[in-house]
Amino acid sequence: MTLRCRRAVTWLLALGFLGVMVEPALAKAAKRKAKSPWVKRRDKRGRMIVVDINVPPLTRDGRPNVQAKAAIMIDLASGHPLYEKNADEQRPIASISKTFAAMVVMDRKLALDKVTTIIAEDQKYARGGAKSRLLMGRGYTNLDLLHAMMMGSDNRAVTALGRAAGLTPVELVAAMNDKARALGLPHTAFEDPVGLSNGNLSTPRDLVMAVRAMLEYPLLSQISGKKEHDVWTADDKPRSSSHFVNTDQVARAGRYQVLAGKTGYTDEARYCLVIAAKVGERKVAAALLGAEGELTRFADFNRAAAWLIDGGPAKVAARSVLAARKKQDSGASPGTGTSNAAPVP
């Protein structure tokens, strides 16, 4: 065999080996891509949004195709429900619990510029949740801790803020329950301050009332709508910072003006969102509990918001009136138009 032939055979064997190695990897990547229902598209105003292509925007009866297990959207001005799905179903709410902790410490005149140090107690109550970016033994201003808690859902910040407001973790939980009662939320209860307990329960209907109350705290509203924030240590040691990005993708996308809100997740609660936002010319509040996908809760809100802008509630009402008339007409006899009884001879 000539040298040229040997080289050709060597190249063919090498290419065959590469094919054996690369083809399964490419096939696996293609399969993964095919499974993903999420694609990026531009809306009518040219802004990039994430869309679940496997979920039609509307149901057959013209309502938003919300995938969360329980949900509601209300008009903030009137309190009138615009959309409901199992709105009174009590479910775990995970880190949405932090909205109540935030209102409690603000009610106690939290000193925003004071420095609070992260201690072992904070680490203890955060254990079992997402990794904290607040350093043990380091001090942070209470204002930065509010950002870490509300935007980044950092669990260590919760008990630290409670301590800054003069409350032990047990007292903070009691104050959160008192706040729920004061707001008239009969189906809301808390067992732990950060939201890791499955005993932290509420309903979508209760939660939209809670986020409505949250609007009375301008600072919390401002923090909720931020896209990102740098949290700096504020003690006598060398300074360091952590960059927090808002866990609420509706706020990050900027498509709607977020007025207040909070995300949540545990294995039991699944993915949750409570939000107040300006949609078109209307201010609304929505609560979405028990979504299976991390992005589904945001897609659910976007579907409901688009439905609202498109006049969905009026269309559904008109369809209901038309269906009622058809039902009434189907019960009338051709002779009289008012009864299905046989005509009197």
Residues known to be catalytic: 95, 98, 153
CA neighbor of 258 nearest in space, from 76, 109, 108, 68: 76
Question: Could you tell me how many residues make up the chain?
Answer: 345
Largest CA distance in the chain: 111
What residues are paired with 83 via a beta bridge? 73
CA distance 60 to 320: 13
Question: Per the structure block, which two tokens stand in for 78?
Answer: 């009137």
Distance of CA 233 to the CA centre of its chain: 28
What residues contact residue 171 under an 8 Å CB cut-off, 6+ apart?
Answer: 162
Contact 145, 163 (CB under 8 A): no
Strands 282-291 and 70-75: antiparallel
CA dihedral 15, 21, 27, 30 (to 10 degrees): -90
For 173, the enclosing helix (H) or strand (E) is helix 169-182
Contact 149, 127 (CB under 8 A): no
Contact 312, 62 (CB under 8 A): yes
**Angle at CA of residue 247, ends 242 and 252, nearest 5°:** 100
